[in-house]
Amino acid sequence: MELSGKMREYWVANLKLLIGCLVVWFIASYLFGIILVEPLNAIQIGGYKLGFWFAQQGSIYTFLVLIFFYAWRMNKLDRQYDVHED
């Protein structure tokens, strides 16, 4: 059984969403939290230096939002391609 065109489309849509999410994942943690931490620390939000905030708070909030966003979009995609469970 070769994967039907529609299923391949579904998989490609999933991969696109996945890559988008992982780019955000990388930016919020590695880029803002580590690589660019020094320049970002020049910006102060309340008592937090921004780079430090991303490393100890912001990255975790971003991860959380990302997972629920991904789950929501995938559930929509499942319905769209009629592959949802019941």
Partner 1 sequence: MDLETLTWIVVGATFALYIGIAIWSRASSTGEFYVAGKGVHPVANGMATAADWMSAASFISMAGLIAFNGYDASVYLMGWTGGYVLLAMLLAPYLRKYGKFTVPEFIGERYYSQTARIVAVICLIVASITYVIGQMKGIGVAFSRFLEVDYNTGLYSGMAIVFIYAVLGGMKGITYTQIAQYVVLIFAYTVPAIFISLHLTGNPVPQLGLGSTVADGTYLLDKLDGVLVELGFAQYTIMKGTTLNMVLLTLSLMIGTAGLPHVIVRFFTVPSVRGARASAGWALFFIAILYTTAPAVGAMSFFNLVNTVQPGEIGAADGNMVYEERPQWFKNWETTGLLAYEDKNGDGRIQYYNEKNAEFAQKAEEEFGWQGNEMVKVDRDIMVLANPEIANLPNWVIALVVAGGLAAALSTAAGLLMAISSAVSHDLLKGVFKPGISEKQELMAARIAMAGAILVAGWLGLHPPGFAAQVVALAFGLAAASLFPALIMGIFNKRLNSTGAITGMLVGLFSTLIYIFWFKGWFFIPGTEMMANNADNWFLGIQPESFGAVGALLNFITAWVVSKVTTPPPDHIQHLVEDIRVPHQRNA
> CA–CA separation, 66 vs 52, rounded Å?
20
Among 9, 16, 43, 56, binds partner 1 (CB under 8 A): 56
> CA–CA separation, 74 vs 20, rounded Å?
13
| Residues 7-46: x where in contact with partner 1 by CB under 8 A, - otherwise, as a string | x--xx--x---x--xx--x---xx--xxx-xx--x---xx
Secondary structure of residue 45 in the 3-state scheme: strand
* Cβ neighbours for 83, distance < 8 A, ≥ 6 positions apart: 7, 10
Footprint of partner 1 (CB under 8 A): 1, 3-4, 6-7, 10-11, 14, 18, 21-22, 25, 29-30, 33-35, 37-38, 41, 45-49, 52-53, 55-57, 59-61, 63-64, 66-68, 70-71, 74-75, 78, 82-86
